Structure 1
């Protein structure tokens, strides 16, 4: 239960920043000796992060829903989010078995992806191109679909769902704040879909003790994620994403060293 709480906090703190929450949880679980049935814990505790962003963005979501019947701009934004979600829904369902049994079980790959992603994030953050879009609501539909395909790279643990969508949006002309905000909105259907599909695939194998551990992780993830979501947009508007790039590189290098020492000791 203690390890589940630690991993839950880690999920909440890292889900919406571009450092790969799944990569952090899988590596932490590996070194802490944590094993979950069908790797379901690592996916299902994302429900806490989903509810956190629904809580923080509840007023904005209600406003969009109310405006949609009469406001073409609101309808287009909702459609853009659903369009961006579509590639992950299709590819994620087709590749689910490979992702869970191969990619989730390869900590060395996760560490390498953290480092590579950190370097890319630093490069993108330092580009001085003038942004074309200052508001996520203004992203055109073709741009949303492209971001959706880029998000699929995050099916490799260590890449980061938020990191891939943010980098994709930045390269396509978004400002740092609007890139993060679009990533927030896109996370809702993406994470909800991953949660529902993983629960469907694994519910028969999960015991009551598994659900208890998942519940602890869920609550801790929710609390930590609320704190992050409520502050992240202002932070990236002022400071950019450089800090997260360096964090990825440091964690990836430390994990690589740990894995090499483990394999050498074995």
Structure 2
């Protein structure tokens, strides 16, 4: 058994779980740390799909009561039908644009330097949004209108650029369009479910030939680590944003992005170009 590789799987699984639902870009962190740890081969592509699936299952588990309630009332409850409709409308922009540009973006932009640049730019955008102090008109997800869902959906689509952050784009878009911090964050969690399941299924289909039985222990370690870390992160994040702004995440993004760019500029780390 390859214990060093299992350790890498544990580290990357924890990173995925901790960052998937925070506005710091889990994909960006996986690209950077995967490159740094030398785990960026074909097998790593499937591994990242597995640990992303674990993270989304974690949020499903955390919100299981609400999801079960919506599912059970889908035939008869207008509120449940409207909620699912909102998620579908918000999901469409990323789904359509993802099918159109997914392969090109992966080929051209999935590298540490692009990620670091996007981290910095995204951090500056968060600072700008927080400085504007948008006044919320929607305190709960249930108060959203169809037009709100469409606008947040297009904001989420910006996250196709690695390092941008799906949750960051969705939450910041929500704040700009009038959602409260809690509503924007919760809608980001719920919107992640169809978005990430669809992305996971698509990536798994594209990389099915890379699945190997001997990789199961590595995938299992990463899956469990990601699941546990994601549950902790979601609960902690909801508590945090009830009394804090997102500014700390902005400065983290900027500092981390500038550090990676500095290691590239001064030649301290030989980052991959693709």
Tell me if both proteins adopt one fold, taking TM over 0.5 as the criterion. yes
Instruction: Judge which range, 162-171 or 64-73, deviates more.
Output: 64-73
1:4: how far off?
1.4
Would the aligned equivalents of 1:15 and 1:225 in 2 still touch at CA under 8 Å?
A: yes
- Paired with 2:109 and 2:50, the residues of 1 have a C-alpha distance of 17
- Paired with 1:151 and 1:129, the residues of 2 have a C-alpha distance of 19
- Paired with 2:269 and 2:263, the residues of 1 have a C-alpha distance of 10
> Which residue number in structure 1 is paired with residue 102 of structure 2?
96
Q: Superposition pairs for residues 169-248 of structure 1, below 5 Å?
A: 169-248=174-253
> Which residue number in structure 2 is paired with residue 249 of structure 1?
254
> Which residue number in structure 1 is paired with residue 3 of structure 2?
none
- Paired with 1:70 and 1:265, the residues of 2 have a C-alpha distance of 58
Residues matched between the structures, number: 265
- Of the candidates 154, 160, 166, which is equivalent to residue 149 of structure 1? 154
Query: Which whole-Å deviations, capped at 9, do the CAs of 1:232-261 have from their partners, x for residues lacking one?
Result: 122112102111111111110111112223
> Which residue number in structure 2 is paired with residue 159 of structure 1?
164
- Paired with 2:223 and 2:247, the residues of 1 have a C-alpha distance of 29
Would the aligned equivalents of 1:169 and 1:179 in 2 still touch at CA under 8 Å?
A: yes
SS in 1 for 2:24: coil
1:32: how far off?
1.7
- Of the candidates 65, 68, 78, which is equivalent to residue 62 of structure 1? 68
Instruction: Judge which range, 33-42 or 134-143, deviates more.
Output: 33-42
Would the aligned equivalents of 2:175 and 2:184 in 1 still touch at CA under 8 Å?
A: yes
- Paired with 1:4 and 1:265, the residues of 2 have a C-alpha distance of 22
Would the aligned equivalents of 1:41 and 1:214 in 2 still touch at CA under 8 Å?
A: yes
Would the aligned equivalents of 1:22 and 1:157 in 2 still touch at CA under 8 Å?
A: yes
- Paired with 2:94 and 2:188, the residues of 1 have a C-alpha distance of 13
- Paired with 1:222 and 1:255, the residues of 2 have a C-alpha distance of 27
Do the aligned partners of residues 112 and 177 (structure 1) sit closer, same or farther apart at CA in structure 2, a change above 3 Å counting?
same
1:265: how far off?
7.2
SS in 2 for 1:102: helix
Query: Which whole-Å deviations, capped at 9, do the CAs of 1:114-160 have from their partners, x for residues lacking one?
Result: 00101111221233232010001211111111211111111111000
Would the aligned equivalents of 2:138 and 2:178 in 1 still touch at CA under 8 Å?
A: yes
Q: Superposition pairs for residues 110-129 of structure 1, below 5 Å?
A: 110-129=115-134
- 1:82 equivalenced with 2:77 (yes/no): no
Would the aligned equivalents of 1:74 and 1:137 in 2 still touch at CA under 8 Å?
A: no
Would the aligned equivalents of 1:125 and 1:241 in 2 still touch at CA under 8 Å?
A: yes
Instruction: Judge which range, 112-121 or 139-148, deviates more.
Output: 139-148
Would the aligned equivalents of 1:84 and 1:148 in 2 still touch at CA under 8 Å?
A: yes
Query: Which whole-Å deviations, capped at 9, do the CAs of 1:155-211 have from their partners, x for residues lacking one?
Result: 111000000000111110000110000000000011111111101000112323344
- 1:48 equivalenced with 2:64 (yes/no): no
Structure 2 length-normalised TM: 0.91
- Paired with 1:264 and 1:252, the residues of 2 have a C-alpha distance of 14
- Paired with 2:12 and 2:140, the residues of 1 have a C-alpha distance of 33
> Which residue number in structure 2 is paired with residue 260 of structure 1?
265
Would the aligned equivalents of 1:46 and 1:195 in 2 still touch at CA under 8 Å?
A: yes
Do the aligned partners of residues 49 and 17 (structure 1) sit closer, same or farther apart at CA in structure 2, a change above 3 Å counting?
same
